[in-house]
């Protein structure tokens, strides 16, 4: 049994609760996918590997809870209870595995990251830089652009003040080799059009469509076969659940990088949101809204205060 201290907000929370991942799941059901906390009680089989008070992270449906029962096999032991570790569980692992398995990063490749200052975008930028790629990141403010430069982004494009398509056409006439795409809609079309010969567009989400009743903004996909053929290009989807065999190794590498100081794990507690910091389960809905407004820099995390009069 774990006492949660921090829970992570993901775009997947909306997809899951809207029935887009599994339409057979009927309300009421638990939501939330990840948390960091402390062990407060142990089953017999877990007592060999864990101790009460130990810091752990977990990825499990139903993590928006003060106390969560998690099978010992699904828990990840941590050096301490820090929200930074939470950024790696889903967001960091998504960037790491998708780029490694599908992106074939190598020196000199041009990588475009959309929503680059977001929870998972920050890792795509850093991992592509570590592979000695040239990284372009789209974002919605100069403040986010400043953050992206600080983590190594070579070219930032503020899509509120610059025309992304014009910038890419002018500065990258040969196109980009890899796109890490999480926006969807018009951004997907634009990314597809700017692919280089043998380029690869990796779809990790489509946040522009999550709030529509249908869940998707239409894309101009009728020309997709011709566009891909003309460039020998590819579009690949990535869903973390299908790559769980790679998960432990990815997380191990990411944790080592963070501990060495080689990885920035930016956390956004919503201090700049109208009603202030996201504290307590009641603020989860505010945190989700904040994500859809595109306000966050880094991973959105909600802090769950320790209850003094614990029922346990």
Is the N-terminal amide bond of 192 cis, ω within 30° of 0? no
Reduced 3-state DSSP string for 140-196: CCHHHHHHHHHCCCCEEEECCCCCHHHHHHHHCCCCEEEEEECCCHHHHHHHHHCEE
Instruction: For residue 135, tell me if it sits in a domain.
Output: yes
Are 46 and 141 part of one and the same domain? Answer: no
With 0-12 / 13-18 / 19 or more C-beta atoms within 10 angstroms meaning exposed / middle / buried, residue 79 is exposed
Instruction: For residue 247, tell me if it sits in a domain.
Output: no
Are 64 and 123 part of one and the same domain? Answer: no
Are 111 and 195 part of one and the same domain? Answer: yes
Are 20 and 136 part of one and the same domain? Answer: no
Are 189 and 75 part of one and the same domain? Answer: no
Q: Does the pLDDT at position 13 exceed 90?
A: no
Percent pLDDT > 70 in the chain is 94
Instruction: For residue 19, tell me if it sits in a domain.
Output: yes
Kindly report the CA angle at 75 between 70 and 76, in degrees rounded to 5? 160
pLDDT of 179-216, one tens digit each? 999 998 899 999 999 999 999 999 998 877 665 666 56
Q: Give the structural domain span for 237.
A: 90-241
Q: What is d(CA 65, CA 80) in angstroms, rounded to the nearest whole number? A: 20
Count of domains forming the chain: 2
Instruction: For residue 149, tell me if it sits in a domain.
Output: yes
Are 119 and 15 part of one and the same domain? Answer: no
pTM: 0.93
pLDDT of 98-111, one tens digit each? 999 999 999 999 99
Q: What is d(CA 288, CA 210) in angstroms, rounded to the nearest whole number? A: 11
Q: Which of 241, 275, 294 is the last residue of a domain?
A: 241
Are 118 and 215 part of one and the same domain? Answer: yes
How confident is the model over 273-301, as a mean pLDDT? 95
Are 237 and 98 part of one and the same domain? Answer: yes
* Segment (H or E) for 38: strand 34-39
Are 234 and 113 part of one and the same domain? Answer: yes
Are 94 and 77 part of one and the same domain? Answer: no
| CATH code assigned at 124 | 3.40.50.720
Are 48 and 175 part of one and the same domain? Answer: no
């Amino acid at each position: 049994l774990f006492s949660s201290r921090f829970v992570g907000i993901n775009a997947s929370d909306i997809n899951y609760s809207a029935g887009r991942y599994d339409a057979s799941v009927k309300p009421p059901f638990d939501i939330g996918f990840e948390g960091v906390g402390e062990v407060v009680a142990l089953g017999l089989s877990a007592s060999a590997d864990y101790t009460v008070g130990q810091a752990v992270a977990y990825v499990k449906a139903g993590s928006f809870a003060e106390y969560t029962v998690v099978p010992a096999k699904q828990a990840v032991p941590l050096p301490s209870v820090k929200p930074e570790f939470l950024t790696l569980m889903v967001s960091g692992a998504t960037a790491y595995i998708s780029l490694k398995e599908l992106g074939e990063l190598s020196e000199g490749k041009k990588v475009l990251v959309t929503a680059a200052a977001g929870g998972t975008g920050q890792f795509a930028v850093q991992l592509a830089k570590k592979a000695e790629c040239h990284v372009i990141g789209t974002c919605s403010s100069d403040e986010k652009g400043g953050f992206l430069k600080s983590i190594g982004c070579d070219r930032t494009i503020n899509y509120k003040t610059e025309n992304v398509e014009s910038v890419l056409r002018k500065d990258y006439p040969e196109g980009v080799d890899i796109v890490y795409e999480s926006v969807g809609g018009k951004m997907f079309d634009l990314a597809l059009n700017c692919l280089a010969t043998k380029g690869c567009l990796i779809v990790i989400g489509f946040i522009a469509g999550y709030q529509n009743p249908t869940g998707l903004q239409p894309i101009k996909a009728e020309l997709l076969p011709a566009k891909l053929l003309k460039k020998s290009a590819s579009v690949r989807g990535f869903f973390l659940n299908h790559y769980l065999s790679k998960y432990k190794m990815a997380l191990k590498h990411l944790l080592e990088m963070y501990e060495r100081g080689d990885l920035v794990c930016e956390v956004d507690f919503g201090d700049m949101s109208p009603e202030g910091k996201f504290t307590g389960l009641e603020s989860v809905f505010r945190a989700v809204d904040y994500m859809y407004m595109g306000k966050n820099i880094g991973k959105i995390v909600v802090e769950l205060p320790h209850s003094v009069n614990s029922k346990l």
